[in-house]
Amino acid sequence: MDDPVLLTGAGGRVGRAILSGISGEYDWRLLDREPVSADALPAGVSEDDTVVADVTDEWQVREAVRDVGAVVHLAGDPRPNAPWDSVLRNNIDGTHAVFDAAAAAGVDRVVFASSNHAVGAYETDERTPDLYRTNDDYRLDGSELPRPSNLYGVSKAAGETLGRYFHDEYGLSVACVRIGNLTEDHPPREYERGQAMWLSHRDCAHLFGRCLEAEYDYEVVYGISNNDRRYYSLERAREVLGYDPQDNSADYTFEGEPKDAA
Amino acid sequence: MDDPVLLTGAGGRVGRAILSGISGEYDWRLLDREPVSADALPAGVSEDDTVVADVTDEWQVREAVRDVGAVVHLAGDPRPNAPWDSVLRNNIDGTHAVFDAAAAAGVDRVVFASSNHAVGAYETDERTPDLYRTNDDYRLDGSELPRPSNLYGVSKAAGETLGRYFHDEYGLSVACVRIGNLTEDHPPREYERGQAMWLSHRDCAHLFGRCLEAEYDYEVVYGISNNDRRYYSLERAREVLGYDPQDNSADYTFEGEPKDAA
Protein backbone atom coordinates (compact mmCIF):
# COMPACT_ATOMS: atom_id res chain seq x y z
CA MET A 1 0.00 0.00 0.00
CA ASP A 2 1.53 3.31 -1.11
CA ASP A 3 -0.86 5.72 0.59
CA PRO A 4 -0.57 6.28 4.32
CA VAL A 5 -2.40 4.08 6.79
CA LEU A 6 -4.31 5.90 9.51
CA LEU A 7 -4.04 4.11 12.84
CA THR A 8 -6.57 5.40 15.40
CA GLY A 9 -5.91 4.71 19.05
CA ALA A 10 -2.26 4.33 18.10
CA GLY A 11 -1.04 4.78 21.66
CA GLY A 12 -3.14 1.94 23.06
CA ARG A 13 -2.14 -1.66 23.70
CA VAL A 14 -3.22 -3.02 20.32
CA GLY A 15 -1.70 -0.09 18.47
CA ARG A 16 1.65 -0.63 20.12
CA ALA A 17 1.53 -4.35 19.32
CA ILE A 18 0.84 -3.62 15.66
CA LEU A 19 3.57 -1.03 15.40
CA SER A 20 6.08 -3.26 17.17
CA GLY A 21 5.69 -5.77 14.32
CA ILE A 22 4.93 -3.91 11.10
CA SER A 23 5.85 -0.28 11.67
CA GLY A 24 8.43 -0.42 8.86
CA GLU A 25 6.03 -1.70 6.24
CA TYR A 26 3.68 1.26 5.93
CA ASP A 27 3.63 5.00 5.84
CA TRP A 28 1.71 5.57 9.07
CA ARG A 29 -0.46 8.38 10.32
CA LEU A 30 -0.89 7.84 14.06
CA LEU A 31 -3.99 9.28 15.70
CA ASP A 32 -4.58 9.38 19.42
CA ARG A 33 -6.34 11.63 21.91
CA GLU A 34 -3.05 12.09 23.74
CA PRO A 35 0.16 13.24 22.05
CA VAL A 36 2.55 10.35 21.45
CA SER A 37 5.89 11.35 22.93
CA ALA A 38 8.73 11.52 20.42
CA ASP A 39 10.79 8.81 22.13
CA ALA A 40 7.83 6.39 22.01
CA LEU A 41 7.51 6.67 18.23
CA PRO A 42 8.63 3.64 16.22
CA ALA A 43 11.58 3.98 13.86
CA GLY A 44 10.65 5.78 10.67
CA VAL A 45 7.68 7.59 12.22
CA SER A 46 8.15 11.25 13.03
CA GLU A 47 6.02 13.62 15.07
CA ASP A 48 4.78 15.03 11.75
CA ASP A 49 3.02 11.70 11.21
CA THR A 50 0.96 12.02 14.39
CA VAL A 51 -2.45 13.58 14.87
CA VAL A 52 -3.94 14.50 18.22
CA ALA A 53 -7.68 14.10 17.73
CA ASP A 54 -10.80 12.59 19.24
CA VAL A 55 -12.73 10.19 17.00
CA THR A 56 -15.98 11.59 18.31
CA ASP A 57 -15.16 14.88 16.56
CA GLU A 58 -16.26 14.29 13.00
CA TRP A 59 -14.32 17.23 11.59
CA GLN A 60 -11.08 16.11 13.16
CA VAL A 61 -11.69 12.65 11.76
CA ARG A 62 -12.41 14.01 8.28
CA GLU A 63 -9.14 15.87 8.36
CA ALA A 64 -7.28 12.79 9.59
CA VAL A 65 -8.48 10.45 6.83
CA ARG A 66 -7.50 12.79 4.03
CA ASP A 67 -5.37 10.96 1.41
CA VAL A 68 -5.03 7.74 3.37
CA GLY A 69 -5.34 4.38 1.66
CA ALA A 70 -6.64 2.50 4.65
CA VAL A 71 -7.75 2.97 8.23
CA VAL A 72 -7.03 0.68 11.17
CA HIS A 73 -9.60 1.77 13.73
CA LEU A 74 -8.68 0.89 17.30
CA ALA A 75 -9.72 4.05 19.18
CA GLY A 76 -12.42 3.79 21.78
CA ASP A 77 -12.98 3.13 25.43
CA PRO A 78 -11.21 -0.25 25.92
CA ARG A 79 -12.61 -1.08 29.37
CA PRO A 80 -14.85 -4.16 29.44
CA ASN A 81 -16.76 -2.53 32.31
CA ALA A 82 -17.01 0.89 30.64
CA PRO A 83 -20.34 2.60 31.34
CA TRP A 84 -22.95 3.00 28.62
CA ASP A 85 -22.51 6.72 28.10
CA SER A 86 -18.84 6.24 27.34
CA VAL A 87 -19.21 3.34 24.91
CA LEU A 88 -22.17 5.03 23.22
CA ARG A 89 -20.07 8.09 22.55
CA ASN A 90 -16.53 6.82 22.13
CA ASN A 91 -17.13 3.41 20.60
CA ILE A 92 -20.44 3.59 18.71
CA ASP A 93 -20.57 7.23 17.67
CA GLY A 94 -16.78 7.36 17.24
CA THR A 95 -16.80 4.30 14.99
CA HIS A 96 -19.59 5.78 12.92
CA ALA A 97 -17.52 8.95 12.49
CA VAL A 98 -14.54 6.92 11.26
CA PHE A 99 -16.54 4.84 8.76
CA ASP A 100 -18.45 7.89 7.58
CA ALA A 101 -15.30 9.93 7.02
CA ALA A 102 -13.57 6.99 5.32
CA ALA A 103 -16.51 6.51 2.95
CA ALA A 104 -16.69 10.22 2.17
CA ALA A 105 -12.96 10.35 1.43
CA GLY A 106 -13.06 7.26 -0.79
CA VAL A 107 -10.77 5.19 1.44
CA ASP A 108 -10.52 1.59 0.21
CA ARG A 109 -10.61 -0.35 3.44
CA VAL A 110 -11.21 -0.09 7.16
CA VAL A 111 -9.93 -2.66 9.64
CA PHE A 112 -12.01 -2.51 12.80
CA ALA A 113 -10.88 -3.72 16.21
CA SER A 114 -13.82 -5.68 17.57
CA SER A 115 -13.56 -7.84 20.64
CA ASN A 116 -14.16 -11.23 22.19
CA HIS A 117 -16.59 -9.37 24.45
CA ALA A 118 -18.99 -9.07 21.48
CA VAL A 119 -19.61 -12.80 21.91
CA GLY A 120 -18.59 -13.34 25.54
CA ALA A 121 -22.02 -14.52 26.68
CA TYR A 122 -21.70 -17.70 24.62
CA GLU A 123 -19.52 -18.77 27.53
CA THR A 124 -22.49 -20.00 29.54
CA ASP A 125 -22.28 -21.91 32.81
CA GLU A 126 -23.18 -25.07 30.86
CA ARG A 127 -20.29 -24.64 28.43
CA THR A 128 -17.54 -23.52 30.79
CA PRO A 129 -14.93 -24.47 31.81
CA ASP A 130 -14.93 -27.29 29.21
CA LEU A 131 -15.02 -24.64 26.49
CA TYR A 132 -11.53 -23.53 27.46
CA ARG A 133 -10.03 -27.00 27.11
CA THR A 134 -8.68 -29.05 24.25
CA ASN A 135 -11.22 -31.87 24.62
CA ASP A 136 -14.08 -29.52 23.69
CA ASP A 137 -14.82 -28.95 20.00
CA TYR A 138 -17.26 -26.06 20.27
CA ARG A 139 -16.17 -23.27 17.93
CA LEU A 140 -17.41 -19.79 17.26
CA ASP A 141 -16.61 -18.87 13.66
CA GLY A 142 -17.86 -15.32 13.13
CA SER A 143 -21.16 -16.24 11.50
CA GLU A 144 -22.98 -16.37 14.85
CA LEU A 145 -25.08 -13.48 16.13
CA PRO A 146 -23.40 -11.19 18.66
CA ARG A 147 -23.90 -12.20 22.26
CA PRO A 148 -22.09 -9.59 24.33
CA SER A 149 -20.95 -10.07 27.88
CA ASN A 150 -21.05 -6.36 28.70
CA LEU A 151 -21.98 -2.99 27.22
CA TYR A 152 -18.49 -2.64 25.80
CA GLY A 153 -19.24 -5.82 23.83
CA VAL A 154 -22.57 -4.34 22.71
CA SER A 155 -20.67 -1.35 21.37
CA LYS A 156 -18.21 -3.56 19.48
CA ALA A 157 -21.06 -5.53 17.92
CA ALA A 158 -22.61 -2.23 16.84
CA GLY A 159 -19.30 -1.28 15.23
CA GLU A 160 -19.32 -4.53 13.27
CA THR A 161 -22.83 -3.78 12.03
CA LEU A 162 -21.79 -0.27 11.03
CA GLY A 163 -18.97 -1.87 9.05
CA ARG A 164 -21.44 -4.16 7.30
CA TYR A 165 -23.56 -1.17 6.35
CA PHE A 166 -20.65 0.92 5.09
CA HIS A 167 -19.41 -2.02 3.05
CA ASP A 168 -22.78 -2.66 1.46
CA GLU A 169 -23.60 0.97 0.86
CA TYR A 170 -20.23 2.45 -0.11
CA GLY A 171 -18.13 -0.51 -1.19
CA LEU A 172 -15.50 -0.18 1.54
CA SER A 173 -13.64 -3.39 2.31
CA VAL A 174 -14.17 -4.00 6.02
CA ALA A 175 -12.50 -6.54 8.29
CA CYS A 176 -13.69 -6.83 11.89
CA VAL A 177 -11.19 -8.55 14.16
CA ARG A 178 -12.60 -9.96 17.38
CA ILE A 179 -9.44 -9.60 19.40
CA GLY A 180 -8.81 -12.19 22.11
CA ASN A 181 -6.50 -11.70 25.07
CA LEU A 182 -3.48 -9.73 23.86
CA THR A 183 -0.35 -10.04 25.96
CA GLU A 184 3.34 -9.64 25.30
CA ASP A 185 5.95 -12.43 25.58
CA HIS A 186 3.75 -15.12 27.16
CA PRO A 187 0.06 -16.05 27.55
CA PRO A 188 -1.97 -14.79 30.51
CA ARG A 189 -0.84 -16.57 33.64
CA GLU A 190 -3.09 -19.05 35.48
CA TYR A 191 -6.13 -18.02 33.45
CA GLU A 192 -7.61 -20.79 31.28
CA ARG A 193 -9.95 -18.53 29.37
CA GLY A 194 -7.22 -16.04 28.55
CA GLN A 195 -4.91 -18.83 27.41
CA ALA A 196 -7.63 -20.20 25.12
CA MET A 197 -7.99 -16.79 23.44
CA TRP A 198 -4.40 -15.65 23.68
CA LEU A 199 -3.12 -13.35 20.95
CA SER A 200 0.61 -12.80 20.98
CA HIS A 201 2.07 -9.48 19.89
CA ARG A 202 3.67 -10.89 16.77
CA ASP A 203 0.52 -12.71 15.70
CA CYS A 204 -1.45 -9.52 16.31
CA ALA A 205 0.85 -7.45 14.11
CA HIS A 206 0.85 -10.14 11.42
CA LEU A 207 -2.96 -10.41 11.46
CA PHE A 208 -3.52 -6.68 11.07
CA GLY A 209 -0.89 -6.67 8.32
CA ARG A 210 -2.88 -9.37 6.50
CA CYS A 211 -6.01 -7.25 6.92
CA LEU A 212 -4.14 -4.47 5.11
CA GLU A 213 -2.97 -6.73 2.25
CA ALA A 214 -5.61 -9.36 1.49
CA GLU A 215 -8.59 -8.90 -0.81
CA TYR A 216 -12.01 -9.20 0.82
CA ASP A 217 -15.44 -7.62 1.02
CA TYR A 218 -16.71 -7.83 4.60
CA GLU A 219 -15.24 -10.21 7.14
CA VAL A 220 -15.61 -10.99 10.81
CA VAL A 221 -12.61 -12.96 12.04
CA TYR A 222 -11.18 -13.99 15.39
CA GLY A 223 -7.86 -12.55 16.44
CA ILE A 224 -6.13 -15.22 18.49
CA SER A 225 -2.93 -17.21 18.23
CA ASN A 226 -2.83 -20.84 17.12
CA ASN A 227 -3.81 -22.07 20.58
CA ASP A 228 -4.55 -25.78 21.00
CA ARG A 229 -7.41 -25.04 23.34
CA ARG A 230 -9.17 -22.34 21.38
CA TYR A 231 -12.95 -22.07 21.00
CA TYR A 232 -12.72 -19.50 18.24
CA SER A 233 -12.22 -20.79 14.72
CA LEU A 234 -9.23 -19.51 12.75
CA GLU A 235 -10.57 -20.88 9.46
CA ARG A 236 -11.89 -17.66 8.02
CA ALA A 237 -8.78 -15.65 8.95
CA ARG A 238 -6.54 -18.31 7.38
CA GLU A 239 -8.58 -18.73 4.22
CA VAL A 240 -9.51 -15.17 3.40
CA LEU A 241 -6.69 -13.20 4.94
CA GLY A 242 -3.81 -15.66 4.77
CA TYR A 243 -3.32 -15.42 8.52
CA ASP A 244 -0.59 -17.81 9.66
CA PRO A 245 -0.15 -17.49 13.42
CA GLN A 246 3.15 -18.61 14.98
CA ASP A 247 2.29 -18.80 18.65
CA ASN A 248 0.31 -21.25 20.76
CA SER A 249 -0.49 -20.99 24.43
CA ALA A 250 0.02 -24.77 24.70
CA ASP A 251 3.75 -24.09 24.33
CA TYR A 252 3.60 -22.50 27.77
CA THR A 253 2.80 -23.86 31.20
CA PHE A 254 -0.37 -22.85 33.01
CA GLU A 255 1.85 -20.42 34.92
CA GLY A 256 2.90 -18.80 31.64
CA GLU A 257 6.43 -20.23 31.40
CA PRO A 258 7.76 -21.53 28.06
CA LYS A 259 7.62 -25.34 28.17
CA ASP A 260 10.84 -25.79 26.24
CA ALA A 261 12.62 -23.84 28.97
CA ALA A 262 11.12 -26.01 31.71
CA MET B 1 -50.87 -10.70 32.49
CA ASP B 2 -52.23 -8.87 35.49
CA ASP B 3 -49.71 -6.05 35.76
CA PRO B 4 -49.92 -3.16 33.31
CA VAL B 5 -48.14 -3.29 29.96
CA LEU B 6 -46.11 -0.23 29.07
CA LEU B 7 -46.39 0.61 25.37
CA THR B 8 -43.76 3.13 24.23
CA GLY B 9 -44.39 5.04 21.02
CA ALA B 10 -48.07 4.31 21.57
CA GLY B 11 -49.20 7.04 19.19
CA GLY B 12 -47.23 5.71 16.24
CA ARG B 13 -48.39 3.45 13.43
CA VAL B 14 -47.43 0.17 15.07
CA GLY B 15 -48.83 1.25 18.42
CA ARG B 16 -52.19 2.07 16.89
CA ALA B 17 -52.27 -1.27 15.05
CA ILE B 18 -51.58 -3.15 18.28
CA LEU B 19 -54.20 -1.23 20.23
CA SER B 20 -56.77 -1.63 17.48
CA GLY B 21 -56.55 -5.40 17.97
CA ILE B 22 -55.75 -6.16 21.61
CA SER B 23 -56.49 -3.00 23.58
CA GLY B 24 -59.13 -4.81 25.64
CA GLU B 25 -56.83 -7.61 26.74
CA TYR B 26 -54.36 -5.69 28.88
CA ASP B 27 -54.14 -2.93 31.40
CA TRP B 28 -52.12 -0.48 29.29
CA ARG B 29 -49.80 2.35 30.14
CA LEU B 30 -49.34 4.36 26.96
CA LEU B 31 -46.15 6.38 26.59
CA ASP B 32 -45.49 8.86 23.83
CA ARG B 33 -43.55 12.09 23.40
CA GLU B 34 -46.79 13.80 22.36
CA PRO B 35 -49.96 13.69 24.45
CA VAL B 36 -52.49 11.23 23.06
CA SER B 37 -55.74 13.13 22.63
CA ALA B 38 -58.63 11.78 24.69
CA ASP B 39 -60.78 10.95 21.66
CA ALA B 40 -57.94 8.89 20.14
CA LEU B 41 -57.68 6.62 23.18
CA PRO B 42 -58.98 3.07 22.76
CA ALA B 43 -61.97 1.95 24.80
CA GLY B 44 -61.02 1.17 28.38
CA VAL B 45 -57.93 3.39 28.35
CA SER B 46 -58.20 6.72 30.13
CA GLU B 47 -55.93 9.73 30.11
CA ASP B 48 -54.69 8.58 33.51
CA ASP B 49 -53.12 5.62 31.71
CA THR B 50 -50.97 7.84 29.48
CA VAL B 51 -47.48 9.17 30.07
CA VAL B 52 -45.90 11.98 28.11
CA ALA B 53 -42.19 11.17 28.12
CA ASP B 54 -39.13 10.85 25.96
CA VAL B 55 -37.36 7.48 26.05
CA THR B 56 -34.01 9.24 25.90
CA ASP B 57 -34.70 10.62 29.39
CA GLU B 58 -33.68 7.78 31.68
CA TRP B 59 -35.51 9.17 34.71
CA GLN B 60 -38.78 9.53 32.85
CA VAL B 61 -38.36 5.95 31.64
CA ARG B 62 -37.63 4.66 35.14
CA GLU B 63 -40.82 6.29 36.35
CA ALA B 64 -42.81 4.86 33.44
CA VAL B 65 -41.75 1.23 33.98
CA ARG B 66 -42.70 1.22 37.64
CA ASP B 67 -44.94 -1.76 38.47
CA VAL B 68 -45.41 -2.89 34.89
CA GLY B 69 -45.31 -6.57 33.99
CA ALA B 70 -44.03 -6.09 30.46
CA VAL B 71 -42.84 -3.45 28.04
CA VAL B 72 -43.61 -3.23 24.34
CA HIS B 73 -40.95 -0.84 23.08
CA LEU B 74 -41.83 0.86 19.82
CA ALA B 75 -40.63 4.42 20.44
CA GLY B 76 -37.90 5.81 18.24
CA ASP B 77 -37.30 7.67 15.04
CA PRO B 78 -39.23 5.53 12.51
CA ARG B 79 -37.80 7.08 9.34
CA PRO B 80 -35.71 4.70 7.21
CA ASN B 81 -33.69 7.72 6.07
CA ALA B 82 -33.30 9.20 9.56
CA PRO B 83 -29.88 10.78 10.12
CA TRP B 84 -27.29 9.19 12.36
CA ASP B 85 -27.57 11.67 15.21
CA SER B 86 -31.28 10.98 15.53
CA VAL B 87 -31.08 7.18 15.47
CA LEU B 88 -28.08 7.21 17.80
CA ARG B 89 -30.03 9.17 20.36
CA ASN B 90 -33.64 8.12 19.90
CA ASN B 91 -33.22 4.51 18.81
CA ILE B 92 -29.95 3.25 20.28
CA ASP B 93 -29.66 5.32 23.46
CA GLY B 94 -33.45 5.32 23.93
CA THR B 95 -33.62 1.53 23.64
CA HIS B 96 -30.79 1.15 26.13
CA ALA B 97 -32.72 3.37 28.56
CA VAL B 98 -35.80 1.17 28.21
CA PHE B 99 -33.95 -2.13 28.70
CA ASP B 100 -31.92 -0.69 31.55
CA ALA B 101 -34.97 0.62 33.38
CA ALA B 102 -36.88 -2.62 32.77
CA ALA B 103 -34.01 -4.67 34.19
CA ALA B 104 -33.66 -2.37 37.21
CA ALA B 105 -37.40 -2.58 37.91
CA GLY B 106 -37.48 -6.37 37.57
CA VAL B 107 -39.83 -6.36 34.57
CA ASP B 108 -40.29 -9.88 33.17
CA ARG B 109 -40.24 -9.23 29.45
CA VAL B 110 -39.56 -6.63 26.79
CA VAL B 111 -40.91 -6.89 23.26
CA PHE B 112 -38.77 -4.81 20.93
CA ALA B 113 -39.90 -3.44 17.58
CA SER B 114 -37.04 -4.17 15.22
CA SER B 115 -37.35 -3.77 11.48
CA ASN B 116 -36.87 -5.35 8.08
CA HIS B 117 -34.30 -2.58 7.54
CA ALA B 118 -31.96 -4.40 9.95
CA VAL B 119 -31.51 -6.97 7.16
CA GLY B 120 -32.48 -4.94 4.08
CA ALA B 121 -29.10 -5.26 2.39
CA TYR B 122 -29.61 -9.00 1.89
CA GLU B 123 -31.79 -7.80 -0.99
CA THR B 124 -28.85 -7.55 -3.37
CA ASP B 125 -29.11 -6.83 -7.08
CA GLU B 126 -28.39 -10.52 -7.71
CA ARG B 127 -31.28 -11.65 -5.53
CA THR B 128 -33.94 -9.14 -6.52
CA PRO B 129 -36.59 -9.07 -7.85
CA ASP B 130 -36.76 -12.90 -7.75
CA LEU B 131 -36.58 -12.69 -3.95
CA TYR B 132 -40.00 -11.04 -3.90
CA ARG B 133 -41.67 -13.84 -5.88
CA THR B 134 -43.17 -17.20 -5.03
CA ASN B 135 -40.76 -19.19 -7.21
CA ASP B 136 -37.81 -18.16 -5.01
CA ASP B 137 -37.12 -20.17 -1.87
CA TYR B 138 -34.52 -17.94 -0.22
CA ARG B 139 -35.51 -17.31 3.40
CA LEU B 140 -34.12 -15.19 6.16
CA ASP B 141 -34.94 -16.82 9.48
CA GLY B 142 -33.53 -14.53 12.18
CA SER B 143 -30.32 -16.45 12.77
CA GLU B 144 -28.43 -14.46 10.13
CA LEU B 145 -26.17 -11.53 11.01
CA PRO B 146 -27.71 -8.08 10.62
CA ARG B 147 -27.18 -6.50 7.23
CA PRO B 148 -28.84 -3.10 7.39
CA SER B 149 -29.92 -1.07 4.40
CA ASN B 150 -29.64 2.26 6.23
CA LEU B 151 -28.57 3.79 9.53
CA TYR B 152 -32.07 3.28 10.89
CA GLY B 153 -31.52 -0.44 10.28
CA VAL B 154 -28.14 -0.21 12.04
CA SER B 155 -29.92 1.25 15.06
CA LYS B 156 -32.50 -1.53 15.07
CA ALA B 157 -29.78 -4.18 14.91
CA ALA B 158 -28.09 -2.47 17.86
CA GLY B 159 -31.39 -2.64 19.75
CA GLU B 160 -31.55 -6.39 19.11
CA THR B 161 -28.03 -6.80 20.49
CA LEU B 162 -28.93 -4.75 23.55
CA GLY B 163 -31.85 -7.12 24.04
CA ARG B 164 -29.52 -10.11 23.83
CA TYR B 165 -27.27 -8.58 26.48
CA PHE B 166 -30.10 -7.68 28.85
CA HIS B 167 -31.53 -11.17 28.49
CA ASP B 168 -28.20 -12.88 29.20
CA GLU B 169 -27.23 -10.55 32.03
CA TYR B 170 -30.54 -9.92 33.78
CA GLY B 171 -32.81 -12.76 32.69
CA LEU B 172 -35.38 -10.58 30.92
CA SER B 173 -37.37 -12.41 28.25
CA VAL B 174 -36.81 -10.47 25.05
CA ALA B 175 -38.55 -10.82 21.70
CA CYS B 176 -37.31 -8.74 18.77
CA VAL B 177 -39.86 -8.44 15.98
CA ARG B 178 -38.46 -7.46 12.59
CA ILE B 179 -41.56 -5.72 11.36
CA GLY B 180 -42.28 -5.86 7.62
CA ASN B 181 -44.48 -3.44 5.75
CA LEU B 182 -47.42 -2.60 8.00
CA THR B 183 -50.54 -1.30 6.27
CA GLU B 184 -54.22 -1.24 7.10
CA ASP B 185 -56.96 -3.02 5.11
CA HIS B 186 -54.86 -4.15 2.13
CA PRO B 187 -51.21 -4.78 1.16
CA PRO B 188 -49.08 -1.99 -0.30
CA ARG B 189 -50.23 -1.24 -3.84
CA GLU B 190 -48.08 -2.01 -6.89
CA TYR B 191 -45.02 -2.74 -4.73
CA GLU B 192 -43.71 -6.29 -4.93
CA ARG B 193 -41.29 -5.94 -2.04
CA GLY B 194 -43.93 -4.47 0.24
CA GLN B 195 -46.38 -7.21 -0.66
CA ALA B 196 -43.77 -9.89 0.12
CA MET B 197 -43.26 -8.42 3.61
CA TRP B 198 -46.80 -7.23 4.25
CA LEU B 199 -48.01 -7.21 7.84
CA SER B 200 -51.73 -6.61 8.26
CA HIS B 201 -53.03 -4.73 11.28
CA ARG B 202 -54.75 -7.76 12.74
CA ASP B 203 -51.72 -10.00 12.31
CA CYS B 204 -49.57 -7.28 13.89
CA ALA B 205 -51.81 -7.05 16.95
CA HIS B 206 -52.00 -10.85 17.21
CA LEU B 207 -48.20 -11.21 16.94
CA PHE B 208 -47.47 -8.67 19.67
CA GLY B 209 -50.15 -10.34 21.78
CA ARG B 210 -48.34 -13.66 21.37
CA CYS B 211 -45.09 -11.95 22.38
CA LEU B 212 -46.86 -10.94 25.60
CA GLU B 213 -48.19 -14.45 26.29
CA ALA B 214 -45.69 -17.07 25.10
CA GLU B 215 -42.72 -18.39 27.08
CA TYR B 216 -39.30 -17.71 25.59
CA ASP B 217 -35.79 -16.56 26.43
CA TYR B 218 -34.46 -14.42 23.57
CA GLU B 219 -36.00 -14.48 20.13
CA VAL B 220 -35.62 -12.67 16.82
CA VAL B 221 -38.69 -13.21 14.65
CA TYR B 222 -40.10 -11.74 11.47
CA GLY B 223 -43.32 -9.80 11.68
CA ILE B 224 -45.15 -10.38 8.42
CA SER B 225 -48.44 -11.90 7.38
CA ASN B 226 -48.75 -15.36 5.85
CA ASN B 227 -47.76 -14.08 2.41
CA ASP B 228 -47.19 -16.64 -0.36
CA ARG B 229 -44.27 -14.67 -1.71
CA ARG B 230 -42.41 -14.01 1.51
CA TYR B 231 -38.64 -14.24 1.89
CA TYR B 232 -38.79 -14.11 5.67
CA SER B 233 -39.41 -17.35 7.51
CA LEU B 234 -42.37 -17.55 9.90
CA GLU B 235 -41.15 -20.80 11.46
CA ARG B 236 -39.72 -19.36 14.63
CA ALA B 237 -42.71 -17.10 15.30
CA ARG B 238 -45.10 -20.02 14.79
CA GLU B 239 -43.11 -22.49 16.86
CA VAL B 240 -42.04 -20.40 19.80
CA LEU B 241 -44.74 -17.77 19.97
CA GLY B 242 -47.73 -19.60 18.55
CA TYR B 243 -48.14 -16.93 15.89
CA ASP B 244 -50.97 -17.86 13.51
CA PRO B 245 -51.33 -15.14 10.88
CA GLN B 246 -54.65 -14.78 9.05
CA ASP B 247 -53.72 -12.56 6.11
CA ASN B 248 -51.82 -13.14 2.89
CA SER B 249 -50.95 -10.58 0.26
CA ALA B 250 -51.64 -13.24 -2.39
CA ASP B 251 -55.35 -12.78 -1.61
CA TYR B 252 -55.07 -9.33 -3.17
CA THR B 253 -54.28 -8.16 -6.66
CA PHE B 254 -51.03 -6.35 -7.42
CA GLU B 255 -53.09 -3.17 -7.26
CA GLY B 256 -54.13 -4.05 -3.71
CA GLU B 257 -57.74 -5.09 -4.38
CA PRO B 258 -59.16 -8.20 -2.67
CA LYS B 259 -59.22 -11.02 -5.23
CA ASP B 260 -62.48 -12.47 -3.97
CA ALA B 261 -64.13 -9.13 -4.77
CA ALA B 262 -62.67 -8.99 -8.30
Phi, psi of A233 (to 5 degrees): -75, 140
pLDDT tens profile B26-61: 999 999 999 987 887 888 899 999 999 999 999 999
pLDDT range class, residue B1, cuts 50, 70, 90: confident
Domain count, chain A: 1
**B88-92 average pLDDT score:** 98
| Contact assignment for A164 to B143 by CB distance below 8 Å | no
Enumerate the active-site residues of B. Answer: 152
Å from B5 to nearest chain A CA?
A: 26
| Contact assignment for A154 to B158 by CB distance below 8 Å | yes
Give the domain range for residue A204. Answer: 5-261
**Closest CB to A145 among B143, B148, B169:** B143
Q: Which pLDDT belongs to residue B40? A: 79
Å from A219 to nearest chain B CA?
A: 12
Length of chain B: 262
Does residue A128 belong to the interface with chain B, where contact is any CB pair within 8 Å?
no
Contact B31, B53 (CB under 8 A): yes
Q: Which pLDDT belongs to residue B39? A: 80
Q: Which residues of chain A have pLDDT under 70?
A: 261-262
| Residue B262 pLDDT > 60 | no
Å from A79 to nearest chain B CA?
A: 17
**Closest CB to A164 among B96, B148, B168:** B148
Residues β-bridged to residue B43: none
Q: Which pLDDT belongs to residue A39? A: 80
| Contact assignment for B88 to A92 by CB distance below 8 Å | yes
Q: Which pLDDT belongs to residue B34? A: 92
| Residue B261 pLDDT > 70 | no
Residue whose C-alpha is closest to residue A99's, from A62, A124, A134, A128 = A62
| Residue B260 pLDDT > 90 | no
Does residue B100 belong to the interface with chain A, where contact is any CB pair within 8 Å?
yes
Q: Using CA atoms, how far apart are residues A212 and A173, in angstroms rounded to an integer?
A: 10
Residue A100: give its domain's CATH number. 3.40.50.720
Interface test with A, best of B115, B161, B170 (most A CBs within 10 A): B161
Structure ipTM over 0.95, yes or no: yes
